[in-house]
């Protein structure tokens, strides 16, 4: 299983997820989500495979999210606008994002990682 791990090294949750992956000997390609944010097409695939609402992919506790006043914008924006916004700045994406191309987890919850990635 080839995993792609989108993360931000200064993020504590991302570091915890990375420690978990390493502790379970799962190999992955780590991609710095701010330096190399996923494209609109990649984000759409991640969103579709995650089974989550698109707004759940936003880092709602982030400074950038608040600066741009996205709380109200995401209520009325269409899917294409939301994907464009996410692709415009990796800091807007809830992290970490882990995928094998088919399955996706957003954020880090140990129980969720165990269910999804320790098959």
Across-strand partners of 58? 93
Question: Structure pTM?
Answer: 0.94
> Mean pLDDT across the stretch 12-31?
97
Orientation of helix 110-117 relative to helix 12-23, angle to 10°:
40
Q: Please, what is the average pLDDT of the chain?
A: 96
Position 119 scores a pLDDT of 79
What CATH architecture is 3-118?
3-Layer(aba) Sandwich (3.40)
Buried b (16+ CB within 10 A) or exposed e, 29-58: eebebbeebbeeebbbbbbeebebebeebb
Cα 37 to Cα 29: distance, rounded to the nearest angstrom: 14
> Mean pLDDT across the stretch 13-25?
98
Whether the per-residue pLDDT at 39 is higher than 90: the answer is: yes
- 3-class DSSP state of 4: strand
Two tokens, residue 78: 């269409």
The residues spanned by each domain of the chain are 3-118
Whether the per-residue pLDDT at 1 is higher than 90: the answer is: no
Looking up tokens 């502790």 gives 23
Position 114 scores a pLDDT of 97
Cα 112 to Cα 106: distance, rounded to the nearest angstrom: 10
Burial of 102 (0-12, 13-18, 19+ CB in 10 A): exposed
* % of the chain residues with pLDDT over 70: 99
């Amino acid at each position: 299983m080839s995993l792609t791990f989108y993360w931000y090294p200064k993020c504590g949750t991302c570091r915890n997820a990375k420690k978990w992956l390493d502790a379970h000997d799962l190999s992955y390609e780590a991609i710095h989500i701010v330096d190399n944010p996923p494209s609109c097409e990649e984000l759409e695939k991640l969103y579709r495979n995650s089974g989550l609402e698109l707004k759940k992919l936003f880092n709602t506790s982030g400074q950038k999210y608040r600066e741009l006043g996205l709380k109200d914008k995401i209520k009325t924006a269409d899917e294409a606008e939301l994907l464009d916004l996410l692709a415009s700045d990796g800091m807007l994406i809830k992290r970490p994002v882990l995928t094998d191309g088919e399955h996706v987890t957003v954020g880090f919850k140990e129980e969720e990682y165990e269910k999804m990635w320790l098959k």
